[in-house]
Each structure stands twice: as C-alpha cells, then as structure tokens.
Structure 1
Amino acid sequence: MRLIGWWARRVASAAATLTLVSILIFAASRLMPGGFAEVVLGPFATPEQQAEVSARYGLDRGVVEQYGLWLAAVLRGDLGTSMISGEPVTVEFLLRMPVTVELTLLGVAAAAVIGVPLGIVTAVRAGGRGGAAGRLAGGIGVSVPEFVLGSLVVFVFSRFALGLTIGGYRPLDEDVGANLRSIVLPAAVLAFFAVAVTARTTRDAVMGVLVEPYITAAVARGDSPFTIVVRHVLRNAAMPVLVVLTTITAYLLGGAVIVEYLFNLPGVGSYVVAAVGRRDYAVVQAGVLLAAAVFVVLNMLVDAATGVLDPRLGSAGEAR
C-alpha cells in the first residue's frame, strides 16, 4: 500500500507539473509578437485576410477556449496538426525523432564511458596531477557554452577538409558511414558538456564515499585500491551519478536545439525552433510539452531506481 501511495503521489505531482507547463507554453506562444496570420500573409495583408486565416485555424476564438480544446486533444493522444505543413505533429516528430535520439544516445554513452571513469580517477588521485588535470577539464567543459564550441567546430571543419562533414545528414539505415561522419561532430559537442558534468558529479560522490569508516576498514584489512573501488565505492556513489545521467538524458532529448541548428540536423529541436519563427503554435506547444514529459518521467524512474539501489532512502521516503 505504501508503494501504491508513493506512485500515486508521484503521478499526481507529474500531472500537476505538466499541466502548469502546458499553461505556460500556451500563453507564451500566444504572447509572442506577430501572430500566425501576420507571419504567413506578410506585412501587407489586409485585416480581412488576416481574420480569414485566423478563423480557418480557430485562432479567433477565446484563449481559454483554445487552450481547453488543445488540452482535450492532447489527453486523447492528439498533439495537433502543423499549420504550415498540414501534417499531424506526431508524424512530424516521429520522422525527426531518430536524429535527436541518436544524438542523445551518443552523448549519454560518452558521459558514462568517459565521464564516470574520469571522475573516479580524479577523486582517487585528488592530491596528484591526475586530480588537478581532471578538475581543470571538468571546469572547462562546464564553462564553455555549446554555441561557442559548436561554432568553433563548424568553422574548423568547414574551413579544412578533415574527413568529417558539416550538415548533409544521412539516416543510419541508408548509409552507416555517411551517418557517422555527419553525426560525430554534433555528438562530440553535446558530449563535451555531458562528460564534464558527469565527471564532476562522480568525483564529488566518490570523494564523499572515500571518507566513510568502512573505506578505512577496507584499507586496514589490506584490500587493494581496485577492490575497494569496485566493492565499496561504486555502489555507494552510484545514486548521484545515476541522477545526473538521467538529467543529462532528459536535457539532451529536449535541449539539443542549438547543436541541431548549428549542424543543420533535421531533428526535433531544430524543427521546433523553426516552428517558433513561423508561429506554428501546435508544433511549439507539443515540442515543449513533450520535452517536459520526458524529463518528468525519467525523474520518476530515477526515484524508483534510487530506492532499489539504496533501500534506506526508499524507507525514508515511505516514512515521509
């Protein structure tokens, strides 16, 4: 019963969060200067022409009524229809989702494969050169904005023939080699930040575990450093790392906009950015709501996994 109550509270909290997000994005899209009719028809359209376009897409109705109709459609699984292409938004997203998912998977894989070991080494060798180098790399990775690094990469690889392409994305099922050549650079730009954040989080978590009494006892027993790290450190430091990897996954799925735009990738992020400029309300609202839903769901799964990894936290959560 406690588990059912916990899930009920989490689901209710998630529903309230997504409802608030839907209200905010709906209001923000309508408050943008220049409506859909003005953008589509241009500055020389007559008021009669603008009114006709608004009536055609239901934009002449009250804002509350528009929101209610849109929310009811979303609850039925209908994200709406693009006012530009006339295609269902769900279909448009599904066509572009493989690009965003591929970028995200490569970024998260790099964070796990590079960031976690780097954080462990930095923590274990905190007093040596390895620790200083790891802290410096982490600081640079967190500090450099994606658009700065991405712009630099685009300039260098556009100016010099280095074997990797800028733009010209090819799906993985069409040409594996061309796909990798076009996706490696944007994935590396995304992974730069992800690796740095993961390394710093892993370092802090591991250093927090290394001062525990059971680590001192393991050292006194004569256990090797490798055994101590594998048996005692990794599991106890796993929860913060799991949380940050999940957060990075949600961030990359919903926040790869800049990288997709810079590298001209036909992903969901670049599609939503283009929709903002065209005032394609249905696409913008669905894109933001989908990103929020992914973030909320992944956080719920992390909370559940945390209780499995450390039953003490699960018991504390149930008590609260």
Structure 2
Amino acid sequence: MTYFRWALGRIGVAALTLTGVSILIFGAVRAMPGRYSDLVLGPLASRAEKDAAAERYGLDGSLPEQYVHWLLHAVRGDFGISMASQTPVASEFAERLPATLTLTALALCVTVLIGVPLGVLTGIRGSGGGRTGRLLGSLGLSLPEFVLGSVVVFVFTRYGLGLTVGAYVPWDQGPLRSVLSLVLPAAVLAVFCTAAVARTTRDSVLGVLVEPHIAAAIARGESTAHIVRHHVLRNASIPVLTLLATLTAYLLGGAVIVERLFNTPGLGSFLVDGLDRRDYAIVQAGVLLAATVFIVVNVLVDIVCGVIDPRISNQAGSTAI
C-alpha cells in the first residue's frame, strides 16, 4: 500500500504541476511583444476587423475567461485554429507528429544501444581505464549540434554516400523510406544524447562498484559478467532512466536546429514558426504538449524507479507520515 500511495501522490503532484505550467504558458504567450492582430491582419486593419478577429479566435473575453475556455478545449484535444493557416492546430500537429516520433525513436535507440554499453564498459575499467570512451563522451557533449549537423549536410550532399539530405518521406509513403530519410538527423541528435548517457552510466557504475555487496560478490568468486548483470545494472539504472526521461522530452519537444538543417517537418520547427507569427494557438499547444510529455515521462520513470528500488517509495512514504 505504501508504494501505491506514493505513486498516486506522484500523479497528483504531476497534475498540479501541469496545471501551473498551463497558467504560465497562457500568461507568457499573452505577454509576448507584438499584437496578433497586427501580424495577422496587418497594421492598416480597421478596429472593426480587429474586433471580429478577436471574437473569432476567442480573444475578446477577459484573461481568466480565455484561459478556462482554452484549457477546457485543450483537454478534449481541441487546440483551436491557427491564425496564419486558418486550419485546426490539432490537424497540423497530427501531420507533423510522425516525423518527430520517428526521429525521437531513432535517436533514443542509438543512444541506448551505444551509450549504455559504453558507459558500463568505461565504468568497469575504473578511473584509470576507458580513456577512449571518456574522450569520445567529452567530445560528444562539447560538440554543438549545428556544427556537427552542418558537417554531415556538407559531406552527404557533396559525396552522397547512399543517403539523401533534406528529403523527408512521409510515413504513409513507406515506413522504411521514412525511417531512412531520418537516419542522418537522428544520428546528429544521438551524438549529444549518447555522450550524456555514457557519462551518466559510467559515473553510476563506478558508484555501485564501491558498495559492500560488490566486494562480497567478488569474494564469493562470481564472474565479472555475472556481477554486472545481477548486481551492477539494476542498481546503476535509476540515474540513467532519469536522464533518458529528460532526453525523451527534449527530443519530442523538437531539436529545432537539426530539423531546420535537414528540412524535417517536425513539431519543433513548426512551433518556432508559430512563435515568429505570434500564433497564440500554435505556441500554447506546442509548449503545453512538450510540458505534458516531460511531466508524464518523468512520472512514469519515477514509478519504474520505485519498482526497481523499493527504498524510494518507502522512504517517501515514511517521510510523508
């Protein structure tokens, strides 16, 4: 029961956090310099035209009324109408979501398949070993995405090498072709993520290796592989899962620079375009979606971590009592 109370508490805190974030998003969008009417209708629009546009987009009421109206519709999946394209924001998001999801999934797969084994390997070798892994990790963390992306675009544009730059293929035209069209931007995004996961995994493994139960396992004559599988990975996984949750939200929120470089029609670049046009509906929906993903993923990771290490939920429950 302690675990379930703790999990319900985490969900409740997440709901309150998301409500607070929605208020901040709504207020921040309204506080942006520049009026939507000047950008949508132009500076020469008459007062009657501006009043009609405000009524159409639900901006003629007080701020509390606008917030409640927007939130109730957003909960039902109705994010309003884009002021620029005059199309529902939900349909615009649905059109761009497959590209962002595929890009995120590819980048996370590369991150987990390379970053975790590399971090475990350098951690097992200890502070005096794994110099190559640490060097690659530091290089990946310090290399800006726009620099790496520009180099990749130049090389693959100049020499081909079997992959096309800037030719995104929609999912409905072939899943395999769609995935192949996103391999390069996913690889660029995965460099930073892989380096961060490798560094975190290494530090976590080093912290577990000095625990007394590891020394006891060595004294019992257990092999290194057995110790890593049964004693190290589970205890070292919690910081790695927490970092992966953050990286997932970061990728789903949209790596705008990479999307721009590779001409990928994802959510990130779409949100930036909406911000430039002061398109309230797009900006509010995009930021709210990114915040929701971040909060939900972190809650799920907290719940999984509570299963992996029951001390987390037990300690939280005893503290609350």
The question of a shared fold, defined as TM-score above 0.5 by the shorter chain, is answered with yes
| Matched residue, 1:132 | 131
Deviations, residues 56-108 of structure 1 (Å, cap 9, x unaligned): 32334333322221122223442222223333222221221111111111111
Report what 2:242 is aligned to.
Answer: 243
> 1:100·1:256 contact (CA, 8 Å) conserved in 2?
no
Alignment partner, residue 183 of structure 2: 184
The residue aligned with 2:92 is 92
Give ranges in structure 1 of 5+ residues lacking alignment. none
Of 266-275 and 186-195, the range deviating more from structure 2: 266-275
Percent same amino acid at aligned positions? 56
Task: Give yes or no for contact 2:79–2:281 (8 Å, CA) kept in 1.
Answer: yes
Range 54-63 or range 273-282, more displaced? 54-63
Tell me the CA shift for residue 44 of structure 1.
4.3
Q: Distance in 2 between matches of 1:177 and 1:255?
A: 22
CA–CA distance in structure 2, aligned partners of residues 59 and 172 of structure 1 = 36
Mapped pair 1:82 → 2:50: no
Separation (CA, whole Å) in 1 of partners of 2:32 and 2:122:
46
1:229 aligns to what? 228
Gaps of 5+ in 2: none
Partner of 1:279: 278
The TM-score with structure 1 as length reference comes to 0.91
Mapped partners of 1:204, 1:127: distance in 2: 10
Aligned to 1:212: 211
Please give the residue correspondences for 1:14-25 in structure 2 after superposition, counting only pairs within 5 Å. Answer: 14-25=14-25
Q: Contact conserved, 1:104 with 1:253, CA < 8 A, in 2?
A: yes
SS state at 1:24 partner: helix
In structure 2, the partner of 1:61 is 61
Higher mean C-alpha deviation, range 301-310 or range 168-177: 168-177
- Letter in structure 1 aligned against 2:210: V
Q: Distance in 2 between matches of 1:146 and 1:124?
A: 30
Contact 1:118 1:134 in 2 (8 A): yes
Q: 1:221 to 1:9 in 2, by over 3 A?
A: closer
Counterparts of 1:30-69 in structure 2, within 5 Å, are: 30-69=30-69
What is the alpha-carbon distance in structure 2 between the residues aligned to residue 144 and residue 29 of structure 1? 32
Partner residue in 2 for 1:317: 316
Structure 1 window deviating more from structure 2 (287-296 vs 59-68): it is 59-68
CA distance in 1, matches of 2:58, 2:254: 30
Change (3 A) 1:29 1:295: same
**CA distance, structure 2, for counterparts of residue 285 and residue 142 of structure 1:** 31
Q: Classify 1:101/1:48 alpha carbon distance in 2 versus 1 (closer, same or farther; 3 Å).
A: same
Conserved in 1, the CA contact under 8 Å of 2:7 and 2:303?
no
Helix, strand or coil at the partner of 1:170: coil
- Cα RMSD of the aligned pairs, angstroms, is 2.1
141-150 vs 261-270, greater mean Cα deviation: 141-150
**Deviation of 1:218 (Å):** 2.0
Per-residue CA distance 1:229-259 (angstroms, 9 max, x = gap):
1121111112112221222112211132332
Q: Say if 1:72 and 1:182 are closer, same or farther in 2 by CA, change over 3 A.
A: same
2:111 alignment partner in structure 1: 111
Give, in whole Å, the separation in 2 of the partners of 1:178 and 1:7.
41
Whole-Å separation in 1 of the counterparts to 2:278 and 2:182:
29
Query: Relative to structure 2, which stretch is displaced further, 73-82 or 295-304?
Result: 73-82
Amino acid at match of 2:183: V
**Structure 1 position 29 matched with structure 2 position 29:** yes
Aligned-partner Cα distance in 2 for 1:195–1:282:
34
Conserved 8 A contact 1:126-1:132? no
Q: CA–CA distance in 2 between the matches of 1:46 and 1:236?
A: 66
Q: TM-score, normalised by structure 2?
A: 0.91
Give the equivalent residue in structure 1 for 2:288: 289
Residue pair 1:82, 1:282 contacting (<8 A) in 2 also = yes
- Cα deviation for residue 301 of structure 1 reads 1.1
Q: Number of residue pairs matched?
A: 319
- Structure 1 residue 128: Cα displacement: 4.9
Tell me if structure 2 keeps the 8 A contact 1:80–1:88. yes
